[in-house]
Chains A and B, each alone.
Chain A
Amino acid sequence: MQCPMPKIDFDIITLAHGSGGLLTNKLLEYGVFDLLKNEELDKHHDGATLELNGKIAFSTDSFVISPVFFPGGDIGELAINGTVNDIAMCGAIPQYLSLSFILEEGLSMQEFWNILVSIKFAAEKSGVKIVTGDTKVVDKGKGDKIFINTTGIGKMHPKANISLQNIKAGDQIIVSDQIATHGIAILSVRQGLEFETTIESDTRNLNDMTLKLLDEFGDKIKLFRDPTRGGVAATLNEIARDANLGIELLESKIPVDVQVKAACEILGLDPLYTANEGVFMAIVAPEIADNVVSILHQFEEAQYASIIGEVVGEHNGQVLINNAMGGKRVVHMPIGEQLPRIC
């Protein structure tokens, strides 16, 4: 997917591109507006005016990933998918996004353009319109190439009733795909930790899948969550704590790519605590669990969907994992970022 870069006067972003003057206008006109065009954005107004009825979902996220380009994606794609997925997790249909850039002086125009093109395609794929935005430039050294904030709005799915309060003992926990792929893809290109691999980030929009499940099962879907930072472990600990219920996982059922597993072994990391982008978890009524998995398997992005555990009425607030040997351990809330071990 490529779009040729228009001729813009400068090869790099300068402070003047954020000044609000001529260069800002040129950058917006020949870059952002042209590429992302839609009837709202075309008005070039201070904000967007939207027609919205009924209950909406509203979410925001900031993206500061380093490196900006990584195997399988870039910050632009991530910024769209991240907020689209947060809206989807609420049980809503993502519709409109805002898009704000904080650019570091010196960012190459080509890199910025490539990020914009990723944004365009990610927005198209997930069916959202970018209707308002902002661009600021900071001095060299005050940023890390580019920071992006996106905020999104979506209409609630008419059959959705996503709430922690609905979760009961016996409900089944499903992950939509192999976990930890994104976190390991990013780590493989971090300075000092580089290793050769073909692992690519799984960043993608998840709303097609969540909406299909809501169409089919409505309020039998109790909760959607995307286990991004802190991984599956952090998300499940939050759920167990907030719902005041216990969670039991089956280690053998948790899908992890062979290469990702090997990288985790080498670096001393736990896939349960590693970040995801293209994976969601669903907590569903037991009677629909198998059907949910079958429907997910129809999507290319959810070939490894699996029931990984269940909600229980004991050890409330705690997540336990059972291994095939009969051993049991606590899956603790992560403290901070995982740090690779010595040996």
Chain B
Amino acid sequence: MKHLTEYRDPELAKKVLHEIEKITTKPWKIMEICGGQTHSLVKNGILTVLPKNITMLHGPGCPVCVTPLHLIDKAIYLAVEKKVILCSFGDMLRVPGSKKSLLEAKAEGADVRILYSPTEAVNIAKENPDKEVVFFAVGFETTAPANALSVLHAEKLGLKNYSILNSHVLVPPAISALMEDPESTIDGFLAAGHVCSIMGYWEYYPLVEKYKIPIVVTGFEPLDILQGIYATVKQLEEGRAEVDNQYARMVKEEGNTSAQGIINQVYEVSDQMWRGIGTIPESGLVLRKEYENYDANLKFKIDIEKAPENAECIAGSIMKGIKKPYECVHFGKMCNPQNPLGAPMVSSEGACAAYYNFSKFKEIV
């Protein structure tokens, strides 16, 4: 806890803010990749104290938001029709599928359980040998090792009733896709500290080289984010484009190599559909052939119709930093947390939820 108060020290934060103001001479647009950072920015009121010519764009790093609609429908199908014990991280539950959310399915009697760790789902499978247990394994590189580990645990225990419904996405290909988008106005990135604690930051060298943009690995506390912004602006003002590491207390260049080993043992890279954004080449992880027995998609031969996305939702533009949540005509009106049009309104890392929950009124945005 000492670390929490340290990285929230208001006096230090004011100093860093002052430093940012001192070095900023031009308008810059900086994207924080991770939804956790978006929430920290809004929740701590950082957007209200940053210099006016620094614009923060909120990136696609909300695992819940980019999980395809079709996959949510599949999870609901497994819970309702196949009567599996469907285990999920908490913030997947309110995300709207094409007809309902997992929370509504639960209210209708489906066995949907909220877990904090995927390995707990393996315990549930062990305790319920007569039931099928499916873990809804979504996330970025951060959750991939734990999800992969659950498969290895199930294998070790010889469990035949455990599988995962998988939707894993990767950050570096998303950065490429964002930079290739003709509408992109991004000048620099705050890379997601937790992702980098697993993967390191060696993956970002080719990106700064190719797109001439600074990428600063950044943590989640107010001081982390302010320092990340400072380091990015400094590079931009000095005309540099390098990989920098603000989150050195957690992140090493090579990352956590044993976690990477587990990911590589269980998963392989594949093209991946990102909800609201589209398919990005080589931007996802799928189970390797050796572990396909743990793939819920194959196990249950799920064949349900692909429902169209809600055309009213501009989640894609928001996650690409092209639009702000309050620029959506439905924000806070037709779309709200009780009746969301898209996932960013209900995910704990969604940009729309951050603006709705913490700064509903534009004057303090």
Contact = CB atoms under 8 A, between A and B. Distances in A.
A12 interface: no
A323 B114 CA distance: 32
Interface in A236-250: none
B4 interface: yes
Interface stretch (B68-76, B277-285, B354-362): B354-362
Per DSSP, chain A at the interface is loop
Contact of A325 (B10, B93, B338, B348): B10
B53 interface: no
A332 B222 contact: no
A342 B63 contact: yes
Given A268-B348, A339-B348, A343-B36, A326 B14 contact: yes
A332 B360 contact: yes
A330 B10 contact: no
Contact of B49 (A315, A325, A332): A325
A118 to B, nearest CB: 28
A341 B348 contact: yes
B1 A330 contact: no
B362 to A, nearest CB: 11
A340 B114 contact: yes
A52 interface: no
Contacts of B92: 342
B206 interface: no
Given A192-B113, A332-B357, A339 B338 contact: no
A262 interface: yes
A258 B359 CA distance: 27
A171 B46 CA distance: 28
B139 A343 contact: yes
B23 interface: no
Given A192-B114, A258-B1, A325 B360 contact: no
Interface in B8-23: 8, 10, 13-14, 17
Given A258-B1, A340-B90, A330 B44 contact: no
Given A329-B364, A339-B114, A261 B44 contact: no
Interface in A254-274: 258, 261-262, 265, 267-268
Contact of B139 (A320, A329, A342): A342
Contacts of B10: 252, 323-326
Given A339-B90, A342-B89, A261 B1 contact: yes
A209 B142 CA distance: 47
B229 to A, nearest CB: 14
A159 B90 CA distance: 47
A325 B44 CA distance: 8
Contact of A191 (B17, B48, B113, B359): B113
Given A327-B46, A343-B139, A318 B91 contact: no
Contacts, number: 111
A193 interface: yes
B51 interface: no
B359 A342 contact: no
A215 B320 CA distance: 60
A342 B138 contact: yes
Interface residues of A, number: 31
A318 B92 CA distance: 28
Nearest to B340: A335
A328 B45 contact: yes
Contact of B358 (A195, A262, A318, A330): A330
Nearest to B336: A335
B contact residues, range: 35 or more
Contacts of B1: 258, 261-262
A323 B143 CA distance: 31
Contact of B45 (A252, A327, A332): A327
Given A265-B4, A339-B94, A339-B348, A325 B116 contact: no
Contacts of B356: 332
Contact of B349 (A267, A324, A330, A342): A342
B364 A340 contact: no
Contacts of B93: 339
Interface in A181-209: 191-193, 195
Nearest to A335: B337
B114 A326 contact: no
Contacts of B36: 343
B341 to A, nearest CB: 15
B4 A261 contact: yes
Nearest to B63: A342
Interface in B52-89: 63-64, 87, 89
B48 A328 contact: yes
A327 B221 CA distance: 14
Contacts of A192: 87, 113-116, 120, 124
A343 B1 CA distance: 18
B152 to A, nearest CB: 19
A258 B3 CA distance: 12
Contacts of B194: 343
B123 to A, nearest CB: 9
Contacts of B13: 325
A327 B48 contact: yes
Contacts of A324: 8, 10
Interface in B222-271: 222
Nearest to B45: A327
A340 to B, nearest CB: 4
Nearest to A261: B1
20 contacts: A192-B124, A252-B10, A265-B4, A268-B90, A323-B10, A324-B10, A325-B10, A325-B222, A326-B48, A328-B45, A328-B364, A329-B44, A330-B359, A330-B360, A339-B90, A339-B114, A340-B90, A341-B90, A342-B92, A342-B348
Given A192-B87, A340-B114, 6 more contacts: A195-B116, A265-B4, A329-B44, A329-B359, A332-B358, A339-B114
Query: Across chains A and B, which 10 residue pairs bring their CB atoms closest together, nearest first?
Result: A327-B45, A339-B90, A324-B10, A340-B90, A192-B115, A341-B348, A329-B358, A342-B89, A335-B337, A325-B10
